[in-house]
Amino acid sequence: MGKQGRESMMDDYSQTSGKRSTTPSGAAPTWTASMVIEELGSEFARCAQVELEFSLRLQPGGVETHGRFGCWLEGRDSADFEPVARAIERLNAPPSVRAAHRQAEGPVSQGVGVALAEDGPEFRLYLHGRNQTTLADHYRAWRWRPGAAPRRSTYTFHFLPETPSGQRPLDLIPAQLRPAFSLLLADERLQQSSGFWLREGEGGEIEQVDLSFPWRPLAGTLPGLLELDDVLALPVEESSRWRELAIRHVAIRAGSTIPVITLYASAPSNGPWPASEAALQEQVRHGALAFHHTVEDEVYRRLPPLPAPSSDRSELDLFYDGRVSTWQTVLGPEMHYHAGLFDARDLEAPGLAPPDLETEDAAMNAALRRAVTELYPFIPAGGRIYDLGCGWGEPLAMWIRDLGCPSLGLTISRSQFRYVAARGLPARWGDAERTLPPGHFDCVILLESFSHIHNKGRLLQTLRLFADRLIMRVNCQDGSPSGPALGGMMQMISSSHLRELLEANGWSVTRWRDRRHEALPSVAAWHRRLQSLPATGDRHLETLRAWCARVMTAPGAWARHNPLIEVVAD
């Protein structure tokens, strides 16, 4: 499904035609669309992985169709982006903009664009990079006009419904557009797979909200956008100009008294470099529409039906709420919410936890880290990871730090989402049963989170479309019939049924191992820590306290009937 969108470009408009203008002696040239396209083509026409982009603007009374376009280049290191450096030099970028390009951190893709207006051009440089510590994506942009100081802005992407601080798109757009955009934001696919960008100015003010549509739908098929005909009094004869466009973004100016909506389309360059703006737009229109049909055929038509909303899922969010300081007492300073794996050589007998392991926090902390590092051999080096059920984020942090894997965590808990995001780690708040992985991943990991899934077969079928490998550690229940556990928050499954579901939904199991014997001392450690805490009103904490006490009455027998299955499947 490609990258998670591009940040918005183009703020100004002109219908300047593509002819080189003459200027008085010594004056700056009057840039036209064809001149800019020619300059960009001088650097980008021979590059692989170039994406072209243009935008249309909807505003009261009409549709503006020309004057805003650009191109993007992908790469893996600074040398790949030398064409961008030469392009912005051709476009007379100020020294500070060139310096920003030279200093770009972890470059992934870069874009150069222009907005042509009657008072002259505004050029843009977009830098998509990756933080070298968290591997989180970041975007910066610079805008400059000839002879004027450049303006800098920052883009941040957030999955719906909200940012870690609770900001929601509908709260940031002009009031007259909210009825239409409430319909657009209710789009099922948008909620499942994508989110929004916030563009902030140098002072931190939010300038623009962009909704991202990675499957590039036709604008005229989206509820909410159709209502703009009436809101903006758009001429009927202009509707085909935008309704038939396969769009990547919808951008709304924040805080503007005049409603302005910009539609962005992009597609890989395919064929000769366009000689005019009309040729660029035609190439993008054709490529974006082809991409849309491909995604429809290869992904969305193969997806199982979306389950109905469930109150149980909202309860699961609340169940995982709680004070961080209290949970650090139970889980330890690194907040691993999964069983540790103790060295089997240190265990006296199968199913028993020696007294020293029950009392030593250092041993428990080491076992928790070992439970993560023992998965490292199965994770593709540098591969993209989707951590489905990321908890408080420590495993996510470990494979980012230790393996250099760009990763994204998903949790149904709002509290966990905010905690993980505050650590600077890429995370999203959502229900695994009602969201989709945002793009293709080398590996999806479920570290003891599969038990929270109701329709397990449907999830496995969905993940098969988005990932090459599946790594799981699953709490199974073999000694009694499958059913709810942990206060109804877990839906248990037998190990035999787990294997049947994996194979029935297209996964080939390459590793299958019961780790319960090595994990059992974790229950003893949690039990001891919980005994040190007074009774609370926290349903989750008290449920876990009761469960640990029950297991510790006969740990060996419980372990024999409740395997912890480690699975690798391709």
Give the per-residue pLDDT at 339: 96
Residue 131 has pLDDT above 60, yes or no: yes
Angle at alpha carbon of residue 522, lines to 413 and 338, rounded to 5°? 25
pLDDT number for residue 347: 63
pLDDT of residue 30: 84
Q: pLDDT at residue 353 above 70?
A: no
Q: Over the chain, what is the mean pLDDT?
A: 90
Q: What is the pLDDT of residue 28?
A: 56
From the list 373, 564, 387, 402, the residue with the least C-alpha distance to 467 is 387
pLDDT at position 147 is 85
Sign of the torsion formed by the C-alpha atoms of 542, 543, 544 and 549: positive
Three-class HEC string of 338-388 = CCCCCCHHHCCCCCCCCHHHHHCHHHHHHHHHHHHHCCHHHCCCCCCEEEE
- State residue 17's pLDDT score: 31
* Alpha-carbon dihedral sign for residues 262, 96, 39, 284: negative
Q: What is the pLDDT of residue 346?
A: 62
Least confident span in 178-182, 329-333, 342-346, 495-499 = 342-346
Q: What is the pLDDT of residue 239?
A: 85
Confidence of residue 15 (pLDDT cuts 50, 70, 90): very low
H, E, C per residue of 423-454: CCCCEEECCCCCCCCCCCEEEEEEECCHHHCC
Quick one: average pLDDT of 300-317? Answer: 82
User: Is 120 or 9 the better-scoring residue by pLDDT?
Assistant: 120
Q: How confident is the model at residue 358 (pLDDT cuts 50, 70, 90)?
A: low
Task: Bin 499: left if φ > 0, else alpha if -120 < ψ < 50, else beta.
Answer: alpha
The answer on pLDDT for 337 being more than 60 is yes
Given a cut of 60, whether residue 3 has pLDDT beyond it is no
C-alpha–C-alpha distance, residues 331 and 364, integer Å: 9
- Confidence class for position 563, pLDDT limits 50, 70, 90: very high
Q: What pLDDT, on the 0 to 100 scale, is given for residue 52?
A: 98
Q: Is pLDDT larger for residue 488 or for residue 11?
A: 488
Domain 311-340+375-569, second-level architecture: 3-Layer(aba) Sandwich (3.40)
CB of 259 within 8 A of CB of 174? yes
- Range 307-316 burial, b when 16+ CB lie within 10 A, else e: eeeeeebeeb
Percent of the chain whose predicted confidence (pLDDT) is above 70: 92
Asked if pLDDT for residue 359 goes beyond 80, the answer is: no
pLDDT at 230: 87
Give the DSSP letter string of 200-260. Answer: E-TTS-EEEEEEE-TT--BGGGSTTTTTHHHHTT--GGGHHHHHT-B-SEEEEETT-SS--
What local confidence, expressed as pLDDT, does residue 150 receive?
A: 95
Encode 129-152 in three state secondary structure: EECCCCCCEEEEEEEECCCCCCEE
Query: What local confidence, expressed as pLDDT, does residue 144 receive?
Result: 96
Alpha carbon 176 to its chain's center: 29
pLDDT at residue number 29: 64
Average pLDDT rounded to a whole number, residues 17-21: 36
The per-residue pLDDT for 320 is: 81
Residue 33 CA to residue 66 CA, distance in Å, equals 9
Average the pLDDT over 247-257 and give the result: 91
Residue intervals of the chain classified under CATH 3.40.50.150 are 311-340+375-569
Average pLDDT on 155-169 reads 96
Name the range with the highest mean pLDDT among 253-257, 322-326, 496-500. 496-500
Q: How far apart are CA 483 and CA 276, in angstroms?
A: 64
Q: What is the pLDDT of residue 24?
A: 44
- Cα torsion 493, 450, 376, 440: sign: positive
DSSP 307: P
Average pLDDT rounded to a whole number, residues 439-450: 97
| Per-residue model confidence as pLDDT tens digits over 47-97 | 988 999 999 999 999 999 999 999 999 998 889 999 999 999 999 999 999
Q: Is the pLDDT of residue 1 over 60?
A: no
Average pLDDT over residues 454-473: 97
Sequence-ordered list of residues with C-beta below 8 angstroms from that of 481, at least 6 positions apart, any chain: none
Structural contact between residues 129 and 106, judged by C-beta atoms closer than 8 angstroms: yes
pLDDT digits (tens, 9 = 90+) for 485-504: 888 888 999 999 999 999 99
| pLDDT at site 484 | 83
DSSP 51-115: EEEEEEEEETTEEE-SSEEEEEEE-SSGGGGHHHHHHHHHTT--HHHHHHHHT-SSEEEEEEEEE
**CA gyration radius for the chain?**
27
Q: How many CA atoms lie within 13 A of 383 on its CB side?
A: 19
Question: What per-residue confidence (pLDDT) applies to 255?
Answer: 78
